[in-house]
């Protein structure tokens, strides 16, 4: 083969390689290096040493076995005892540096719980609740206090709340000062304090805001009826948190709403109404309802009547108007598969501008069948009837119905099919509703106990459930 031919082949091969690299070489990805790292960072050294005693420095250096970062330190880090000034936290490579800005107290055990703040750089593995401890005295305090927080009104939990401890024992400390110690709740409402000194404390539940105080009755709050005696065998406690005052929904004044229909985007000022019918059918266990788009000034109840299918007036129903004067209700003992009429003359109602209906209307409907419903029998084990229990049916966190229990069994033939959350309100004052607590009056809230498992009601089915409380 001639030299010229060899040179030509070499040039052609080189051009081909360059062309391939121009289109693909830059995107070549090396093969993976094995299984993903799932191990969180581990502390391998610290200055001062973890659990050191007689410490007199405000500067702490923590060294981990891999590169780390600290995220949301201001929200995640809990320093105990609770400092007046938040510490300064910095990180670089494998080191985390903490500068405590408060003067250290003598003979005091300090703990720094980082929550979920410390994680490795590569995979983001979190060193969950990583805690560093030291003491300015000769020993490390190892007393603990634990328990649970339950929302009194629902029986559920709220992991955003915190538990606080005060060594100032007067009643106003929780209102005027910051706590000595505080701890977060986990997703099951549990809390634990570690490395506490022996002593007597008042304990509270508050919202985890910038000011860790109870200065607003709209906020969640809880308290114990007694002090907590912290020792090497401290009793666990359960708090029942409540909201003493409820936020009021803003409502426009009557004068500002005169003649203005809700959701009126087209300029249509006609008086309209909707019904509570379900596809033209009336529920056997609910009232029939008319809801108007504006407040009514005129309501002629003698002319708005319920009749049978032959237009013969029905007797025995109750006609009511709600406080907003937008809803008219017919309450009646409905029977299955019966036809009814509701007659509404156009001038029987008028709004505050004397605007009536455009025309008279006759609504035709039929009641549902009993087979559209399920029957439900609930048997309660270990329920204390002397505590005046009220059975609560809930859907989407709303109470659908509340029924006082006078025995350990509930039995009803007509229940609308669906999934229900069940809870028991222990109605101590017997007024049929849940009542909040009052720290000022030292009154605990009424307690609601949630049943963990939902009750599923099926149509045309006898549903029986045993509930062990």
The CATH number that applies at residue 235 is 2.60.40.10
User: Considering the chain, what percentage of its residues have pLDDT values greater than 90?
Assistant: 81
pLDDT given at position 343: 96
> Which CATH number goes with the domain that contains 420?
2.60.40.1120
Beta strands in 167-278 (DSSP E): 181-184, 190-196, 199-207, 220-223, 228-230, 237-243, 273-275
- Tell me, yes or no, whether 126 and 147 share the same domain: no
Domain count along the chain: 4
**DSSP, residue by residue, 399-411:** EEEEEE-SSSEEE
Closest C-alpha to 154, from 246, 244, 219, 242: 242
Does 432 lie in the same domain as 329?
no
Q: What is the model's pTM?
A: 0.78
The number of angstroms, rounded, from the C-alpha of 129 to the middle of its chain's C-alpha atoms is 23
β-strands 455-457, 161-166: how paired? unpaired
Alpha-carbon distance of 418 to 456, in angstroms, equals: 6
24 located within any domain: no
452 and 405 in a common domain: yes
Peptide bond into 48 cis (omega under 30): yes
Length of the chain, in residues: 469
- In the chain, which residues have pLDDT < 50? 1-31, 251-266
What letter does residue 51 receive in the DSSP assignment?
A: T
Query: Residue 357's closest CA among 273, 268, 248, 232?
Result: 273
Residue 305 falls inside a structural domain: yes
Question: Which among 135, 155, 190 is the end of a domain?
Answer: 135
- Please choose, from the candidates 77, 117, 70, the residue with its C-alpha nearest in 3D space to the C-alpha of residue 100: 77
The verdict on 363 and 264 lying in the same domain is yes
In a domain, 16, yes or no: no
Residues 78 and 112 in one domain: yes
164: in domain: yes
320, 343, 368 - which closes a domain: 368
Contact 463, 429 (CB under 8 A): no
Q: Are residues 297 and 315 in the same domain?
A: yes
Q: Which two tokens stand for residue 433?
A: 């509703």
pLDDT in the model for residue 38:
87
Query: Could you tell me the CATH number of the domain that includes residue 58?
Result: 2.60.40.1220
The answer to whether residues 338 and 385 belong to one domain is no
- Tokens at residue 227, please? 């002090």
Question: Residue 53: which domain range?
Answer: 43-135
Asked if 57 and 128 sit in the same domain, the reply is yes
3-class DSSP state of 372: helix
C-alpha dist (Å) from residue 251 to 255, 290, 327, 369, 433: 12, 21, 17, 39, 24
Buried b (16+ CB within 10 A) or exposed e, 256-290: eeeeebeeeeeeeeebebeeebeeeebbbeeebbb
Q: What is the pLDDT at residue 50?
A: 97
Residue partners of 32: CB distance under 8 A and separation at least 6:
none
Q: What's the pLDDT score for residue 141?
A: 97
- pLDDT value for 114: 97
Residue 166 lies in a domain: yes
- Do both 322 and 359 map to the same domain? yes
Q: What is the pLDDT of residue 27?
A: 39
């Amino acid at each position: 083969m001639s030299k010229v031919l060899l040179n030509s082949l070499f040039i052609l091969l080189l051009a081909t390689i360059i062309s391939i690299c121009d289109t693909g070489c830059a995107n070549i990805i090396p093969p993976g290096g094995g299984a993903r790292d799932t191990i969180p960072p581990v502390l391998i050294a610290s200055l001062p040493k973890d659990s050191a005693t007689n410490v007199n420095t405000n500067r702490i250096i923590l060294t981990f076995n891999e590169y780390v970062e600290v995220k949301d330190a201001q929200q995640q880090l809990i320093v105990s005892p609770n400092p007046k000034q938040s510490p300064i936290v910095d990180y670089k490579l494998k080191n985390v540096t903490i500068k405590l800005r408060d003067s250290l107290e003598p003979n005091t055990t300090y703990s720094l719980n980082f929550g979920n703040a410390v994680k490795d750089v590569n995979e983001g593995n979190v060193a969950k609740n990583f805690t560093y401890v030291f003491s300015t005295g000769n020993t490390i305090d190892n007393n603990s206090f634990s328990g649970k927080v339950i929302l009194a009104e629902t029986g559920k939990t709220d992991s955003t709340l915190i538990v606080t401890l005060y060594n100032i024992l007067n009643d106003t400390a929780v209102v005027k000062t910051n706590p000595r110690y505080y701890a977060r709740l986990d997703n099951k409402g549990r809390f634990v304090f570690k490395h506490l000194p022996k002593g007597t404390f008042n304990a509270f539940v508050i919202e985890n805001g910038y000011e860790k105080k109870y200065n607003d009755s709209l906020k969640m709050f809880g308290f114990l009826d007694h002090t907590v005696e912290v020792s090497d065998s401290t009793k666990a406690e359960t708090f029942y948190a409540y909201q003493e005052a409820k936020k009021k929904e803003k409502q426009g004044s009557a004068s500002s709403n005169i003649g203005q229909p809700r959701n009126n985007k087209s300029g249509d000022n006609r008086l309209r109404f909707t019904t509570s019918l379900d596809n033209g059918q009336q529920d056997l266990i609910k009232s029939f309802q008319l809801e108007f788009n504006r407040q009514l000034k005129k309501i002629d109840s003698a002319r708005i009547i319920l009749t049978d299918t032959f237009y013969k007036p029905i007797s025995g129903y109750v006609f009511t108007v709600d406080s907003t004067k937008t809803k008219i209700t017919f309450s009646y003992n409905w029977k299955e598969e019966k036809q009814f009429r509701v007659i509404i003359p156009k001038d029987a109602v008028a709004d505050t501008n004397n605007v009536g209906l455009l025309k008279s209307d006759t609504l035709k409907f039929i009641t549902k069948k009993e087979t559209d419903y399920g029957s439900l029998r609930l048997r309660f084990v270990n329920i204390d009837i002397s505590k005046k229990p009220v059975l609560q049916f809930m859907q989407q966190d709303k109470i659908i119905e509340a029924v006082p229990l006078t025995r350990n069994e509930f039995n009803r033939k007509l229940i609308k099919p669906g999934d229900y959350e069940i809870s028991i309100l222990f109605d101590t004052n017997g007024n049929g509703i849940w009542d909040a607590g009052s720290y000022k009056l030292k009154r605990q809230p009424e307690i609601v106990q949630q049943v963990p498992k939902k009750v599923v009601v099926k149509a045309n089915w006898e549903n029986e459930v045993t509930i062990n409380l």
